[in-house]
A and B are shown apart, each in its own frame.
Chain A
Amino acid sequence: MLGLGKKDFTLLLIVAVMTLLAPLLLNPFPESSGLAQFNAGYPDLMQRFVIFGIFAIGFNILFGLTGYLSFGHAAFLGVGSYGAMWMMKLVSLNVIPAIIMAIIVAGIFSLAVGYISLRRSGIYFSILTLAFAQMSYALAYSVLTPLTGGETGLQIKSSDTPLFSNVADGDIGRANLFGMDMRASHEVAMGDWLFTFNAGYYIAGVVMLIAFYLSIRIFRSPFGTMLRAVKSNQTRMYYTGLNARPYTLAAFVISGMYAGLAGGLLVAMDTQVGPERMFWTASGEVVLMTILGGAGTLIGPVLGSGAIKYMENILSKINKDILHEWFAFLPAGLDDFIVAIVYPFVGKGWHLTLGLIFMGVVIFLPGGLVQGGQKIGGLFRRKKASDNDSDKSTQSTPAE
């Protein structure tokens, strides 16, 4: 269906259902319980899940398929954000032209960067992309201040009068979709549970589903196969009479456009942008997401971005008092000891946990969480050998 194989369609369907029901699924704990802080079903975080999911899906098209490790992808996200921001400031507060603008700007920028960077491969490619991203960051921070707002970044101000949107004098315009405010939320209280259905989240979610669908199509297309050929043996590709450069460049631009789309959506959800969005740690983050989930797999990047954003927002909220509450059942003295051990890994130290998990994944599970899931699944499957239908279709084995 939709031009997909049965397995892919099932995967897409599962992702679609999960995305649509996320406000319910991510809020499993009642409001009054102590575990309510683990609820991730609030609009801001859910939007981040799907937007960074898009970013990672796009990065995966480049890294997962061709093996080119770009360390400067955040630049495209940032450029897209600035493009969308200006579109909103000048033309219309409707998010659709802003997002389209973001994709176009990021696409053009990634075409320029890719054209130059792809002359080299391996570590040189990583350094070149890193250099371009750091240059964009430095310029956005300093010289291009009239265009980027410098350190403070850009926001929509009351003085902005977009051409096609009516903003009353003195009002600050809000991003909308044909009049529907991005921040509009519908809250449903069911007993002790409170579910928030947010307009912005659903728009971003639908966009992510489209992006996910496109990425499945790319993975399964002859073009995708060609990109895998680039990864496995470029020399052999040359000898068969094919030039790898156009394919890698196309992959680079596509993933740059995905990054721009993510940047545009970020602006659509929260109308502001600053240069730190382009800093190289932001590029490192998308690398972390993709590897953590599983590079070269379809669902991996989405899982990875979800895991990292969840940790960033939830794990970082745990402080000493909460830990003491949890371990209060232990004998006195022992609970202090446990808290002292656990504390460095949560709260402000969540990056430490992230770093350790990431190292563990790179060392033991080069295929990321997806590979881990498959290994666990494999353990169960071995018991019933009659079920020989190996579930490989969700993963495209990286061609090595």
Chain B
Amino acid sequence: MEAIILQILNGLDKGSAYALIALGLTLIFGTLGVVNFAHGALFMIGAFCAVTLSRILTASYTVIDESQTDFLGNPLKVDMPYVHDWFGQATGDAIIDWAVPLSILFAIPVMMLIGVIMERGLIKHFYNRPHADQILVTFGLAIVLQEVIKYYYGANPIPTPAPEAFDGSFDFGAMLGFDPNMIIYPYWRIIYFVFAAIIIGGVFAFLQFTTFGMVVRAGMADRDTVKLLGINIDRRFTIMFGLAAAVAGLAGVMYTPINSPNYHMGMDFLVLSFVVVVVGGMGSLPGAVLAGFLLGILESFASMGAVLEILPGLNQIIIYLVAIIILLTRPRGLMGRKGVMED
């Protein structure tokens, strides 16, 4: 029982990342009908937004501190972050400590902008080309983005810790009446899950309860009719692309404390997210979210010791295996609409 709960919890944070990326992919596919292979790169850029902000915040100048000396007796050189000057010592340290959550505010406009530029500058010209061309050009774009990041930030992972307040782990076992220390779960992963849930809820609420969202949904159902009604649906779809980019970026920002960002993290997630989208059903938003969590949890179950004893290596292939079975038995995916991309 403890083991099962633990595995479900472990699956949640990876599942959250899958769900967020898959949500963005599905948004883009559902609105624009474009298969975006550069979505993983957007996730990665989001993560590097966090890196960038924490670098900006820790930007410092060197002062010679007369009160301290090194072992030779010379005055010590101390790096003074500029934020200390502006906000004082304590607040400054707190700001640096909270760099990752603060990056959310930084990442949203940046990612929206990148998304809009991408759509207007490149993807726009590929609406009428075959899916294969869309895959190829976005694949090329992903390589380019990845290499640009690699050039500026290097090839090594950059550790970006969470605020100190979230350092510890939460003891779920004690709360549920099991032995203490049986089911412990890092605070940051809980935060990640809650954050993902809020974002997903927010996107759904936005689509469901605002006029803008209503128009977008109408456009997803029948683009031409909406156009004939005199609504500039293209502009709304561009904004949706920016939104999808922001969702991927935020997933990346919050993922940095879990996994130090490196330039190819996007590609690693992309392949899996595509599988998630296909399992959930092309174009189905709830399907993408459901499949994301489902596959995340399945993956963590498959990596249990007891399972691996019976079927070694299952954890490595479970997601692909599920995808193959789903595609062959139910091609429209778990929650896909009938007739959408079923061939």
Contacts and interface: CB of A to CB of B under 8 A. Distances in A.
Given A121-B343, A351-B143, A143 B135 contact: no
Contacts of B324: 116, 128, 131-132
A223 B341 CA distance: 28
A246 interface: no
A363 B133 CA distance: 9
Interface residues of A, number: 41
B20 interface: no
B144 A124 contact: no
Contact of A120 (B122, B151, B327): B327
Interface in B126-151: 131-133, 135-137, 139-144, 146-148, 150-151
B331 A358 contact: no
Contacts, number: 109
Query: Binding site of B, secondary structure by majority: helix, strand, loop or mixed?
Result: helix
Given A132-B320, A143-B313, A122 B140 contact: no
Given A142-B312, A355-B147, A130 B271 contact: yes
B320 A344 contact: no
A102 interface: no
A352 B151 contact: yes
In this complex, the member of A67, A352, A354 whose beta carbon has the largest number of chain B beta carbons within 10 angstroms is: A352
A356 interface: yes
B143 A355 contact: yes
A120 B136 CA distance: 19
Given A124-B327, A127-B275, A359 B141 contact: yes
Given A354-B143, A362-B136, A131 B316 contact: no
Contacts of B316: 135, 138-139, 141-143
B140 A355 contact: yes
A116 B140 contact: no
A123 B135 contact: yes
A124 B131 CA distance: 11
A30 interface: no
A119 B136 contact: no
- 10 closest residue pairs by CB, A with B: A143-B313, A355-B143, A138-B316, A352-B147, A359-B140, A355-B144, A131-B320, A358-B140, A362-B137, A135-B317
Interface of B: 35, 122, 125, 131-133, 135-137, 139-144, 146-148, 150-151, 267, 271, 274-275, 278, 282, 312-313, 316-317, 320-321, 323-324, 327-328, 331, 341, 343
